[in-house]
């Protein structure tokens, strides 16, 4: 059986830890991909020390040369696109089409960041003093930690690693333990592109050991994290004690608002894609559909009819629309919320069934009939209707294929409910009324919003991120991709050659 290795100082090295977890295909629990050793604190230290030792050489490498290496990594990813997509589907569970889409986005991100090596610009600023030249330059922090989740195991790592490297930092990468194979292949490709030893390091392990060491080690000068609110806020608190920079992308409870003048076919199709694509396991997934009463019955009727057509199954099958939950923990989390929704009084109008693989008990949940689904963590896409703002399924992130339909009196109430959560990542509105569309854009409390399209999606050259409980620190990707990974230095060049008789300070 394969054993994944850490990557430290330019070499793949097997962890000495005896603590292991299996890497299992969530679509077929009999398919054990590999054994994962959970690295020790000393191994995390070794990776950090390797990154620290490599920093001066890497920061001295001209930014365009750093960009060329990152561009080469994008070319290698493109050549390995199908291999990576198949591995991603087997390891994480999403459909092969979704994996290919993630790879396309990832390659675009790396290409964009590589080009930023030739755009490391500062600005010149007019001084109030004569014979004084003021300008700015950008410099790297040093060792940067990139801590990533399992749900986009190619895209999220590369949209952190690529800008960090182009900016001149060295990197310690801690991937999710559920997707170590994908992470290892990405690191291989960056290494093959020509990175010097120690510039990129990877340590596979738990958050309580490896993550804690990374957060508290004095050599680590910045941390970019994507994951849960609980972990993100705890890490932010720890890092704040050391006065280092943190970029934290966390959860979402993303609303789609549907008004009476909406294109109903478009609204239904986009909502289904947003809610059930990637099995609902993405931070931008559509979690709430807030529909004005006038069209609510029609919307729910069409929504259920469209959801019924989705095919559940192994993501490697081209006919599959909805793959499995990633692991037992996430599977049981969604099961818990299905029961919570019913107990709180929401009306389950479709779905609510699940497979029953070995080791799982479906307390209060109906079993999916298909025998082919009993060896994986499969959940039927579920629609709750008549959900009220005080219900837990309207407030808490579920991270699964569950959609809550909320019925609002009018636009103002729909907007109020859309904002009435702790999160603020993404949103969308379906309407043809420019007045209300622009009011929505002005008032919605999310970092990203879409008009007449799903809450999901983004482009490599456009910033990504949320507000409120969804995000802390600078935005990722696009024109802001390198902002977090650099410090701005202001330079005053006095060329009078003598003591000044006036001082503006």
Question: What is residue 457's predicted lDDT score, i.e. its pLDDT?
Answer: 83
Pseudo-torsion of CA 236, 240, 245, 248, nearest 10°? 10
Which residues are designated catalytic?
A: 249, 283
Nearest to 348 by CA among 417, 402, 276, 271: 402
Domain ranges of the chain: 17-23+32-250+470-490, 254-451
Classify 497 as helix, strand or coil: coil
Question: What is residue 503's predicted lDDT score, i.e. its pLDDT?
Answer: 64
- Is 256 a residue whose pLDDT tops 80? yes
CA distance 198 to 476: 24
Question: What is residue 277's predicted lDDT score, i.e. its pLDDT?
Answer: 97
Q: Which CATH class is domain 17-23+32-250+470-490?
A: alpha beta
- Is 1 a residue whose pLDDT tops 60? no
Q: How does residue 383 score in pLDDT terms, banded at 50, 70 and 90?
A: very high
Tell me what percent of the residues of the chain surpass a pLDDT of 90: 96
Q: pLDDT of 390-401, one tens digit each?
A: 999 999 999 999
Q: Please give the average per-residue pLDDT across 101-119, as a whole number.
A: 97
H or E segment to which residue 294 belongs: helix 293-307
Q: pLDDT of 182-222, one tens digit each?
A: 999 999 999 999 999 999 999 999 999 999 999 999 999 99
| Residue 417, both tokens | 């409910």
Question: What is residue 400's predicted lDDT score, i.e. its pLDDT?
Answer: 98
Q: pLDDT of 293-337, one tens digit each?
A: 999 999 999 999 999 999 999 999 999 999 999 999 999 999 999
Domain 254-451 has CATH 3.40.309.10: yes
Question: What is residue 500's predicted lDDT score, i.e. its pLDDT?
Answer: 79
CA distance 154 to 167: 20
Q: How does residue 435 score in pLDDT terms, banded at 50, 70 and 90?
A: very high
Question: What is residue 504's predicted lDDT score, i.e. its pLDDT?
Answer: 61
Edge-first strand listing for the sheet containing 200-202: 11-13, 6-8, 200-202, 170-174, 143-147, 220-226, 245-249, 471-472
Q: pLDDT of 222-235, one tens digit each?
A: 999 999 999 999 99
Question: What is residue 498's predicted lDDT score, i.e. its pLDDT?
Answer: 87
Q: pLDDT of 46-57, one tens digit each?
A: 999 999 999 999
Q: How does residue 238 score in pLDDT terms, banded at 50, 70 and 90?
A: very high
Question: What is residue 326's predicted lDDT score, i.e. its pLDDT?
Answer: 97
CA distance 283 to 252: 5
Pseudo-torsion of CA 240, 242, 246, 248, nearest 10°? -50
Classify 144 as helix, strand or coil: strand
Query: Phi-psi category of 268—alpha, beta or left, where left has phi over 0 and alpha has psi -120 to 50?
Result: alpha
Q: pLDDT of 267-283, one tens digit each?
A: 999 999 999 999 999 99
Q: How does residue 501 score in pLDDT terms, banded at 50, 70 and 90?
A: confident
CA distance 89 to 69: 28
> How many CB atoms lie under 10 A from the CB of residue 474?
17
Question: What is the average pLDDT score of the chain?
Answer: 96
Q: Please give the average per-residue pLDDT across 123-130, as a whole number.
A: 94
Q: How does residue 44 score in pLDDT terms, banded at 50, 70 and 90?
A: very high
Predicted TM-score (pTM) of the model is: 0.95
- Is 505 a residue whose pLDDT tops 80? no
Q: How does residue 502 score in pLDDT terms, banded at 50, 70 and 90?
A: low
Stretch among 200-204, 253-257, 261-265, 359-363 having the lowest mean pLDDT: 359-363
Q: Please give the average per-residue pLDDT across 11-37, as a whole number.
A: 96
């Amino acid at each position: 059986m394969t054993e994944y290795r850490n990557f430290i100082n330019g070499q793949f090295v097997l962890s000495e830890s005896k603590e292991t977890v299996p890497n299992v295909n969530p679509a077929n629990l009999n398919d054990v991909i590999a054994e994962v050793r959970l690295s020790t604190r000393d191994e995390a230290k070794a990776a950090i020390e390797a990154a620290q030792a490599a920093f001066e050489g890497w920061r001295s490498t001209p930014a365009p040369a750093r960009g060329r290496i990152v561009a080469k990594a994008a070319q290698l990813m493109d050549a390995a696109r199908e291999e990576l997509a198949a591995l991603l589907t087997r390891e994480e569970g999403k459909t092969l089409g979704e994996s290919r889409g993630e790879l396309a986005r990832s390659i675009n991100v790396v290409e964009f960041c590589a080009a930023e090596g030739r755009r490391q610009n500062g600005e010149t600023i007019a001084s109030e003093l004569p014979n004084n030249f003021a300008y700015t330059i950008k410099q790297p922090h040093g060792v940067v930690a990139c801590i990533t989740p399992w749900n986009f195991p190619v895209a999220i790592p590369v949209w952190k690693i690529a800008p960090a490297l182009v900016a001149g930092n060295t990197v310690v990468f801690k991937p999710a333990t559920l997707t170590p194979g994908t992470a290892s292949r990405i690191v291989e490709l960056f290494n093959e592109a020509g990175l010097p030893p120690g510039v990129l390091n990877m340590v596979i392990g738990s958050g309580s050991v490896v993550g804690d060491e990374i957060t508290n080690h004095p050599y680590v000068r910045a941390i970019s994290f994507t994951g849960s609110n609980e972990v993100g806020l705890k890490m932010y608190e720890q890092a704040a004690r050391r006065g280092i920079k943190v970029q934290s992308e966390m959860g979402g409870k993303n609303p789609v608002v549907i008004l009476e003048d909406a294109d109903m076919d478009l609204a239904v199709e986009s909502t289904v894609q947003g809610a059930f694509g990637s099995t609902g396991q993405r931070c931008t997934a559509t979690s709430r559909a807030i529909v004005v009463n006038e069209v609510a019955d029609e919307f729910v009727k069409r929504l259920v009819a469209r959801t019924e057509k989705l095919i559940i199954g192994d993501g490697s099958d081209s006919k599959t629309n909805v793959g499995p939950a990633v692991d037992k923990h996430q599977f049981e989390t969604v099961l818990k919320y299905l029961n919570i929704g019913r107990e709180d009084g929401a009306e389950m109008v479709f779905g609510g069934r699940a497979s029953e693989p070995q080791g799982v008990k479906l307390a209060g949940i109906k079993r999916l009939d298909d025998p082919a689904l009993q060896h994986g963590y499969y959940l039927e896409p579920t629609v709750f209707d008549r959900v009220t703002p005080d219900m837990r399924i309207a407030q808490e992130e579920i991270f699964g294929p569950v959609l809550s339909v909320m019925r609002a009196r009018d636009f103002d109430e729909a907007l109020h409910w859309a904002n009435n959560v702790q999160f603020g990542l993404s949103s969308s509105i379906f309407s043809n009324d420019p007045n209300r569309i622009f009011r929505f854009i002005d008032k919605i409390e999310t970092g990203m919003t879409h008009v007449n399209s799903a809450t999901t999606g983004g482009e490599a050259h456009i910033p990504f991120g949320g507000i409120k409980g969804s995000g802390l620190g600078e935005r990722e990707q696009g024109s802001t991709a390198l902002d977090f990974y650099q410090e701005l230095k202001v330079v005053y060049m006095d060329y009078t050659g003598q003591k000044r008789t006036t001082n503006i300070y």
